[in-house]
């Protein structure tokens, strides 16, 4: 097979950048995937994710805008100042290098043909460089790529290391496109009816997602499919060192409703810290975040404690949080999150030691435990964990009635915890999904609008008055429509940000401005659209019907009343934001509560 040229990819990326619907986007991507061999598809998927390896390997290309600008300068001969000026106008280094190469190419006659392999190799080399002297090498490797690329290729080469290729391609789109690629190999594909085609694609998509849930590496999954077909995925199994996709909790507004749903169930304290997944393979311990990042280095004390466990191979999950030994209380989340850092980890570990509360086990000594009911997994967990200063089991109780649940809840609240988690005793571990096997009940649920929402910023308005100095007046945010893989507007947020947050917002948002992305659905038009990347936590008084917003349009649109930004949720991907379905559920729960409390009817 002829080696894939990078220009083929850049051309497809260009088509994808200019599509008007998500369907077109997946079709183009599927078409590109069809042209690849197993190594190429893998590489393209990583590059689409702004990486050279799956997230959990932690191989960052490690480029900031400054280094890229240096690379552009080295390759084109334009000065840093000229590049910066152009960047401040365009807001995208991809377009900057494109323009500079157009100007420069008047002088140069030809460029060498660039292969995908070469581009990938150079980025891989960059990811291996760290420390003193590494920057020079990185700039050289990047400039080398620019020197042998056309303008179109250079545009994407500049964007890849920033992890922002600006195509709006998320994991669900990649999975859809792989499914289409396989479906098209079906006999008589072109003659099939649309409904039949849809069913075939859906089945394939489910199989891909099932594999992805236990093995968070879409690159490798695509490679297996190319080599062995969809049946090759049957052998994809949970394995130490490779994170699974975490399960998530549903919410219900009262103890009564939880018991109605689950009957006899387990209740646990809900700790407000970091959710971590720990893999142990003898003495090799790895810790992953819920976004599958490798965050091992941030938890030295937990690593040491896990090493002491007798079991050789396991995957356990829990919540780590900072504990104040003097007052015997947990610190708030803002303190725990300080551990999320690259430097001075040891110092922070001394200042705010963490405790780990384990609440699940999904793998032990070569055996996948995910299909086992929760009550059995918990027994296994209890049998292998010997509690100590650092490692504990989450506090758990089996209850039968709403009264007991209510009592446990009040007890936890009075201890300063944020609520409880109820768990279905018979449910398997449902990776990658939010189902009623876990139900959370929090302090704030009692009464009108219960929980906060995690929403994705899709645009912003420039401010007036005091805020103008930050160039930011209000945010336009969206919920995630999981079925359609789209971001639907739900609120405009003008208040609740401290100056510090405003500054950070402006800095981050100005880097991800975009011409409207096809996955954004909004009738309101902000001054600037941004790539749906940043997730924030939002509190509001109520969910109301509103034709202005696109969330749950079939119900005339749902919106938030008096929304306030609380904090960044950097631990969440946009696809992990509150979904349109959850908003609908919250809306109907809220209606129900208000009918119960005030006897109102709509
Ligand atoms: P929230 O903002 O309510 O934490 P979320 O969207 O971040 O919600 P969910 O998956 O809905 O996350 O809520 C479950 C989270 O609660 C888990 O991700 C985990 O981090 C945390 N948690 C704390 N204590 C427990 C426990 N005992 N069992 C399971 N999860 C727990």
Ligand 1 site, residue 359, Cβ cutoff 6 A: yes
Tell me what pLDDT residue 40 has.
97
Q: Per-residue pLDDT tens for 514-567?
A: 887 889 999 999 999 999 999 999 988 888 888 889 999 887 899 998 888 989
Q: How many CB atoms lie within 10 A of CB 527?
A: 15
CA distance readout (Å), 136 to 70, 142, 330: 9, 10, 45
Q: Is 274 in the pocket of ligand 1 (CB under 6 A)?
A: no
Q: Which atom of ligand 1 is nearest to the CA of 268?
A: 27
Residue 173 has pLDDT above 80, yes or no: yes
Residue 303 is predicted with a pLDDT of: 95
User: Do residues 78 and 88 lie in contact, with contact meaning Cβ atoms separated by under 8 Å?
Assistant: no
Average confidence (pLDDT) over 231-241:
94
Using the mean position of ligand 1's atoms as its centre, give its distance from the Cα of residue 564 in Å.
Answer: 21
Determine whether the shortest distance from the Cβ of 319 to ligand 1 is under 6 A.
Answer: yes
Q: Which ligand 1 atom is nearest residue 569's CA?
A: 7
Q: Is the CB of 440 under 6 A from ligand 1?
A: yes
Q: Is the pLDDT of residue 452 over 80?
A: yes
Which residues touch 171 (CB under 8 Å, ≥6 apart)? 49, 212, 218, 575
Number of the ligand 1 atom closest to the C-alpha atom of 273: 20
Ligand 1 contact via 268 beta carbon (within 6 Å): yes
Report CA(77)–ligand 1 centroid distance (Å). 51
Q: What is the 438 CA–ligand 1 centroid distance (Å)?
A: 9
Residue 566 near ligand 1, beta carbon < 6 Å = no
pLDDT at 459: 95
Could you tell me the pLDDT band of residue 265, with boundaries at 50, 70 and 90? very high
Q: Is the pLDDT of residue 232 over 80?
A: yes
Confidence band, pLDDT 50/70/90 cuts, at residue 366: very high
Q: Are 517 and 532 in contact (CB under 8 A)?
A: yes
List residues bridging with 505 in a β-sheet: none
Q: Does the pLDDT of residue 131 top 90, yes or no?
A: no
Compute the distance from residue 444 Cα to the ligand 1 centre, in Å. 15
Tell me, what's the pLDDT at 258?
Answer: 96
pLDDT over 90 (residue 72): yes
The string of pLDDT tens digits covering residues 298-325 is 999 999 999 999 999 999 999 999 987 7
User: Which H helix or E strand runs over 361?
Assistant: strand 354-364
Ligand 1 binding pocket includes 421 (Cβ within 6 Å): yes
Determine the atom of ligand 1 nearest the C-alpha atom of 246.
18
Ranges of beta strands (E only) in 244-288 are 248-251, 265-270, 274-281, 284-288
Residue 448 pLDDT > 60: no
Higher pLDDT, 425 or 188: 425
Mutation test of ligand 1: which of 278, 424, 440 has the most ligand atoms closer than 8 Å to its C-beta? 440
In this prediction, residues 125-139 reach a mean pLDDT of: 82
Determine which residue's CA is closest to atom 24 belonging to ligand 1.
270
**Quick one: pLDDT band at residue 496, thresholds 50, 70, 90?**
low
Ligand 1 pocket, residue 270 CB under 6 Å: yes
Distance (angstroms) between ligand 1 centre and the Cα of 440 equals: 8
Average pLDDT of the residues of the chain:
89
Q: Mean pLDDT lowest for which of 84-93, 278-287, 365-374, 593-602?
A: 593-602
pLDDT at 426: 97
Helices (H) and strands (E) in the chain, counts: 20, 22
Tokens found for residue 397: 């109780």
Best mutation site among 247, 275, 566 for ligand 1 pocket (most ligand atoms within 8 Å of CB): 275
User: Which of 125-129, 153-157, 243-247, 354-358 is the least confident region?
Assistant: 125-129
Higher per-residue confidence, 225 vs 445 = 225
The verdict on the CB of residue 271 being under 6 Å from ligand 1 is yes
Q: Does the pLDDT of residue 374 top 50, yes or no?
A: yes
Catalytic residues: 270
Could you tell me the CA-to-CA distances from 245 to 39, 218, 378, 433 in Å, in that order? 24, 12, 19, 8
Q: Tell me which of 319, 354, 378, 417 to substitute to probe ligand 1's pocket, judged by most ligand atoms within 8 Å of the beta carbon.
A: 319
Helix ranges (DSSP H) in 342-452: 345-351, 374-384, 402-414
pLDDT band at 444 (very low <50, low <70, confident <90, very high): low
Instruction: Examine the pLDDT at 142 and tell me if it is beyond 90.
Output: yes
Is residue 5 over pLDDT 50? yes
Calpha distance 299→305 (Å, rounded): 10
- Reported as a pLDDT band with limits 50, 70 and 90, residue 568 is very high
Using the 8-state DSSP alphabet, how is residue 264 labeled? Answer: S
CA torsion 62→65→70→76, rounded to 10°? 120
On the question of pLDDT at 601 being above 80, the answer is: no
The atom number, within ligand 1, closest to the CA of 438 reads: 29
What is residue 299's three-state secondary structure? coil
pTM value surpassing 0.85: no
| Ligand 1 center from residue 5 Cα (angstroms) | 45
- At residue 347, the pLDDT reads 85
Highest mean pLDDT among 185-194, 278-287, 435-444 belongs to 278-287
Which whole number is the average pLDDT over 36-50?
A: 95
Given pLDDT bands bounded at 50, 70 and 90, which one contains residue 335?
Answer: confident
Banded pLDDT at 451 (limits 50, 70, 90): confident
pLDDT class of 469 with cuts at 50, 70, 90: low
Residue that the structure tokens 């708030």 belong to: 332
* Highest-scoring range by mean pLDDT, 63-77, 367-381, 440-454: 367-381
Q: What is the pLDDT of residues 385-417, one digit of tens each?
A: 999 989 999 999 999 999 999 999 988 877 778
Q: Is 394's C-beta closer than 6 angstroms to any atom of ligand 1?
A: yes
CA dihedral 34, 39, 40, 43 (to 10 degrees): 130
What pLDDT digit, counting tens, does each position of 378-390 carry?
Answer: 999 999 999 998 9
pLDDT tier at 105 (50, 70, 90 boundaries)?
low
């Amino acid at each position: 097979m002829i080696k894939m040229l990078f220009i083929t990819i850049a051309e497809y990326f260009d088509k994808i950048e200019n599509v008007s619907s998500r369907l077109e986007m997946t079709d183009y991507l599927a078409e590109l995937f069809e042209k690849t061999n197993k190594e190429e598809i893998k590489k393209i998927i990583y590059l689409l994710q702004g990486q050279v390896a799956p997230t959990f390997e932690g191989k960052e290309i490690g480029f900031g805008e400054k280094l890229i600008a240096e690379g552009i300068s080295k390759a084109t001969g334009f000065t840093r100042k000229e590049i910066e000026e152009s960047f401040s106008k365009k807001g995208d280094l991809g377009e900057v290098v494109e323009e500079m190469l157009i100007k420069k190419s008047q002088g140069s006659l030809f460029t060498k043909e660039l292969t995908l392999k070469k581009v990938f190799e150079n980025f891989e080399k960059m990811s291996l460089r760290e420390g003193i002297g590494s920057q020079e090498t990185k700039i050289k490797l990047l400039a080398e790529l620019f020197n042998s690329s056309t303008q179109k290729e250079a545009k994407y080469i500049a964007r890849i290391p920033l992890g922002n290729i600006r195509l709006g391609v998320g994991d669900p789109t990649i999975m859809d496109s792989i499914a289409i690629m396989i479906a098209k190999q079906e006999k008589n594909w072109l003659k099939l009816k649309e409904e039949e085609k849809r069913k075939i694609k859906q089945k394939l998509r489910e199989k891909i997602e099932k594999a992805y849930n236990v093995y968070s590496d879409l690159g490798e999954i695509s490679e297996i499919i190319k080599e062995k077909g969809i049946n090759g995925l049957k052998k994809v199994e949970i394995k130490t060192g490779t994170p699974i996709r975490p399960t998530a909790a549903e919410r219900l507004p009262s103890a009564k409703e939880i018991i109605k749903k689950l009957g006899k169930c387990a209740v646990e304290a809900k700790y407000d810290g970091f959710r971590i997944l720990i893999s142990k393979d003898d003495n090799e311990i790895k810790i992953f975040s819920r976004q599958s990042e490798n965050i091992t280095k941030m938890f030295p004390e937990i690593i040491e404690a896990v090493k002491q466990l007798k079991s050789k191979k396991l995957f356990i999950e829990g919540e780590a949080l900072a504990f104040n030994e003097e007052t015997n209380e947990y610190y708030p989340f803002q303190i725990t999150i300080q551990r999320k850092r690259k430097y001075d980890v040891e110092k922070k570990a001394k200042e705010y030691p963490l405790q780990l509360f384990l609440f699940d086990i999904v793998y032990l000594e070569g055996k996948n435990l995910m299909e086992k009911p929760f009550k059995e997994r918990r027994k296994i967990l209890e049998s292998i964990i010997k509690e100590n200063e650092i490692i504990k089991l989450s506090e758990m109780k089996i209850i039968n009635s709403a009264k007991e649940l209510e009592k446990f809840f009040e007890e936890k609240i009075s201890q300063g915890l944020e609520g409880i988690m109820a768990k279905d005793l018979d449910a398997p571990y449902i990776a990658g999904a939010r189902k009623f096997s876990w139900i959370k009940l929090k302090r704030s649920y009692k009464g009108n609008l219960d929980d906060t929402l995690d929403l994705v910023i899709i645009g912003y308005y420039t401010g007036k008055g005091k805020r103008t100095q930050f160039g930011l007046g209000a945010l336009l945010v969206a919920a995630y429509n999981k079925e359609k893989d789209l971001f639907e507007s739900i609120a405009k947020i003008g208040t609740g940000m401290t100056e510090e947050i405003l500054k950070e917002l402006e800095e981050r948002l100005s880097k991800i401005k975009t011409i409207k992305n096809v996955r954004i659905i909004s009738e309101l038009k902000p001054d600037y659209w941004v790539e749906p990347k940043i997730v924030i936590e939002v509190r509001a008084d109520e969910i109301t019907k509103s034709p202005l917003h696109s969330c749950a349009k079939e119900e005339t649109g749902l919106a938030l009343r008096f929304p306030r930004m609380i904090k960044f949720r950097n631990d969440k991907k946009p696809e992990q934001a509150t979904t349109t379905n959850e908003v609908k559920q919250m809306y109907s729960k809220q209606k129900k509560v208000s009918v119960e409390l005030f006897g109102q009817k709509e």
